[in-house]
Structure 1
Amino acid sequence: MSTATGLDSDLVVVLVAALWGAATGALLPRAAYRFSAPAGEAWRERCPGGHPVRGWLGRARCGQCAAGESGHSGEFGRSEQSGHSGESGHSGESHRPGRSGRSEREPGQPRRSADARYGPRTAPLALVTALVCAALAAATGTRPEVAVWLLLAPVGVLLAAVDLKVRRLPDPLTLPLAGAALVLLGLAALVPEHAGEWSTALLGALVLGAGYLVLFLVNPAGMGFGDVKLALAAGAALGWYGWPTLMLGTFAGFLLGALYGGALLVARRADRKTAIPFGPFLVAGAFLGILAGAYAA
């Protein structure tokens, strides 16, 4: 009976984690767009049509663009009235004839867009975050650190999405993530039945951060300083389960990055000097390491 009860509780945790991941992942598109700013900008403040983007959470879709309202210059210095395509998916569809053979709008009326999306789609981010959270919950079970992983996972997905888009990891995400990981794991260490050690989490953050800093100093073109800051959070999470987990997660990140780079070379989509975003592989390696550490704990 106790075994059945344990299985039921684990299943509930996995289901709740999947719903949490889907809900939080659905809130990431707007933040992903805003943080995917060009170099020199902290974040985006306007959609490609020139309208202000308000808030950080939710769909990346501009209601003013959908209504055909004109804005200031867009992301590439274009006015909405120019009719050029942008990230928002505007393609001049309003100038195409409708089924009746007439233009969909009369002269002088505002142009309307069927799709005013200006960032990543909601469904893929929600699905990825749900799968990540469900896997972490399945590995960790009802141990208290599962709450930590569920809180950190959406930020990891967000960082990976931003780095894939613009090859940069914003400070407002990386540094608070490292601090939050250590604080939350410290709280988890106070709860009975936890399976990790906060002291090794702290040392893991320092060691992995120092290791990435050395790589950055040796080859700044191959390792960004944002990766160094992200390594602090990854080291804390991996170090929670001990040094073997830290080494496994670190190795997995480099292996995934190498495989991705090799695939690009084989496909002739890059050469040996092409820079690739390493943040997604650092996050993926940490995720795999945590899974292994949680299962073994």
Structure 2
Amino acid sequence: MEAPPVVWSLRADWTEPLRARPVRVALTCAAVLALLTWRVGVRADLPAFLWLGAAGTALGFVDVAIKRLPDPLTLPSYGAGAALLGAAAPFTEDGGGRFPHALAGLAALWALFAVQWLLLPGAIGLGDVKLAGVLGLYLGWLGLDAWLLGVAATFVIGGVCAAGLLAARRAGRGSELPYGPFLLLGTLLAVLVHA
């Protein structure tokens, strides 16, 4: 009997956490989308934030389960986010001035995490670098204050959770923690404050 293609086995690997907990994933996604709809409101950029909420929820569940941020979820979010925010740009109060800020936020957050990955390769993964660029796009769209809050919240939430796990002896100094959920939570907090 022939073995399944390698692509299928890789795909099945990262989809398993989503298929194993469909109700939990769906309820979490619905809550995130409801929060974003409430905070962003009926604006031209709402579809972009809803995309981020749905993709981010899936990425969070996958990263917690298998400590990976799969490209099939992360990389399309660059194109989708840029397209949806670009389409919304002419309808903003500044007539499109947010979009260059979004691109600058993408580049800056991607670079910040890429430098960390190069200097401390065991501290974060390449998936975190890829996700950081996507999140930087949205944070940049909301402005410098949102970008700074998102970055700071990411590091604070990650540090507090790591310290809590160490204190509870549920993790040791060499433990590998998924960083994607901290990136996503920090970004969500910044969106809720600045949208």
Secondary structure of the corresponding residue to residue 275 of structure 1: coil
The one of 75, 81, 95 equivalent to 1:181 is: 81
Unaligned runs of 5+ in 1: 1-40, 46-55, 61-86, 88-117
Query: Following the alignment from structure 1 to structure 2, what is the Cα–Cα distance between the partners of residues 140 and 44?
Result: 34
Query: Following the alignment from structure 2 to structure 1, what is the Cα–Cα distance between the partners of residues 71 and 141?
Result: 23
Unaligned runs of 5+ in 2: 1-8
Query: Following the alignment from structure 1 to structure 2, what is the Cα–Cα distance between the partners of residues 284 and 243?
Result: 18
| In the alignment, structure 1 residue 259 sits paired with structure 2 residue 163 | no
The one of 33, 51, 54 equivalent to 1:154 is: 54
Task: State the Cα distance separating 1:137 from its structure 2 match.
Answer: 1.2
Q: Is the 8 A contact 1:145 1:194 kept in 2?
A: no
Secondary structure of the corresponding residue to residue 273 of structure 1: coil
Name the structure 2 match of 1:43.
Answer: 11
Q: TM-score, normalised by structure 2?
A: 0.88
The one of 19, 33, 48 equivalent to 1:133 is: 33
Name the structure 1 match of 2:172.
Answer: 271
Moved over 6 A (4+): none
| In the alignment, structure 1 residue 171 sits paired with structure 2 residue 71 | yes
Q: Is the 8 A contact 1:140 1:146 kept in 2?
A: yes
Secondary structure of the corresponding residue to residue 290 of structure 1: helix
**What one-letter code is carried by the residue in structure 1 that aligns with 2:70?**
P
**What one-letter code is carried by the residue in structure 2 that aligns with 1:143?**
R
Task: State the Cα distance separating 1:268 from its structure 2 match.
Answer: 0.5
Higher relative contact order structure (alpha carbons within 8 Å, sequence separation ≥ 6): 2
Q: Which has the larger radius of gyration?
A: 1
Secondary structure of the corresponding residue to residue 190 of structure 1: helix
1:98-137, aligned counterparts within 5 Å?
119-137=19-37
Task: State the Cα distance separating 1:191 from its structure 2 match.
Answer: 2.3
| In the alignment, structure 1 residue 234 sits paired with structure 2 residue 128 | no
Aligned-pair identity (%)? 40
Query: Following the alignment from structure 1 to structure 2, what is the Cα–Cα distance between the partners of residues 224 and 243?
Result: 25
Query: Following the alignment from structure 2 to structure 1, what is the Cα–Cα distance between the partners of residues 20 and 183?
Result: 21
Query: Following the alignment from structure 1 to structure 2, what is the Cα–Cα distance between the partners of residues 212 and 282?
Result: 11
Cα RMSD (Å) of the superposition? Answer: 2.1
Query: Following the alignment from structure 1 to structure 2, what is the Cα–Cα distance between the partners of residues 154 and 192?
Result: 23
Q: TM-score, normalised by structure 1?
A: 0.59
Higher helix share: 2
Name the structure 2 match of 1:8.
Answer: none
